[in-house]
Amino acid sequence: MLFVAETLRQAAHEAGTDTTLIRNWNMADKRSLGLFGFVFGGITAAVTLAAFLLVYAHITGHLQFADAGLAPQVTMVADK
């Protein structure tokens, strides 16, 4: 990551712009990125689980979609 900051600093210097902001520019730390990855991974797992349960219930006959044009409306069918 130091290479990226150094490359930006060199490009700014060659362009004649102020490099003060680039010198003080800190990269995101690994702890924060790990936290973001954990949160987004949890959200992804929850959505995947919900989709799996919905498809499973539809395949086993617990859920039946009344009409393709009315997809948001779901009819619950009781077990026989």
Dist. CA 62–CA 59, nearest whole Å: 8
Joined tokens for residue 68: 């393709």
pTM of the model: 0.48
Place of tokens 């954990």: 38
- What is the rounded average pLDDT of the residues 34-58? 94
The per-residue pLDDT for range 51-68, each reduced to its tens digit, is 999 889 888 887 776 655
The per-residue pLDDT for range 16-25, each reduced to its tens digit, is 666 555 556 6
Q: What pLDDT band is residue 10 in, cutting at 50, 70 and 90?
A: confident
